[in-house]
Amino acid sequence: MTLKEKYAALIDAANQSGATNLQVVEQDGVLYINGDVPSGAAKDHLWDVYGTIDPNFAAGDVVMNVNAAVVEGGQVRVITQEGNLNIRKGPGTDQPIVGKAAKGEIITLISKSTDQWWLVKTNDGEQGYSYAAYLEPVL
């Protein structure tokens, strides 16, 4: 079974989400999915579909670089006690860190994916998930 076959439901979900610039390439035992989706909810849905195929995200055979359009656009402040807030590729501490935001920094909220994980965009343009307990809305 090829990786495109294994992850057909994920590829279909990306297409159905209205993804643009979608590129799906299988190379050296890894499936690369790149593109842009219209909302944070669409990106969250892709992670949900991925989670049904590989529940622990342990296979290591997919690299999903999908960016969501900034829809909510609200601002949130990083309220860590000390140090930087990790921005992760997916919702969970098992996901790789793709960026950081400093304590007190104000970043863009794309969507409140779950009660625990929010999709954010840093001022450096990095997009990923952060633990919601370390974020507060800027009024």
pTM to 2 decimal places: 0.63
**H or E stretch at 11:** helix 8-16
pLDDT tens digits, one per residue of 14-57: 999 888 889 999 999 999 999 988 877 788 899 899 989 998 88
Which pairing describes strands 62-68 and 30-37: parallel, antiparallel, or unpaired? Answer: parallel
Q: Which pLDDT does position 101 carry in this prediction?
A: 95
Q: Name the CATH superfamily, with its identifier, for domain 74-137.
A: SH3 Domains (2.30.30.40)
Q: What architecture does CATH give domain 3-68?
A: 2-Layer Sandwich (3.30)
pLDDT tens digits, one per residue of 78-126: 999 888 999 999 898 989 999 999 999 999 998 887 779 999 999 888 8
Residue 49's CB is within 10 A of a number of other CB atoms, namely 17
CA distance 13 to 129: 20
Domain limits, CATH 3.30.70.1770, in the chain: 3-68
Contacts of 75 (CB under 8 A, 6+ apart): 106, 107, 108, 109, 137, 138
Question: Long-range contacts for 80-86 (Cβ within 8 Å, ≥24 apart)?
Answer: 80/134, 85/130, 85/131, 85/134, 85/135, 86/130, 86/131
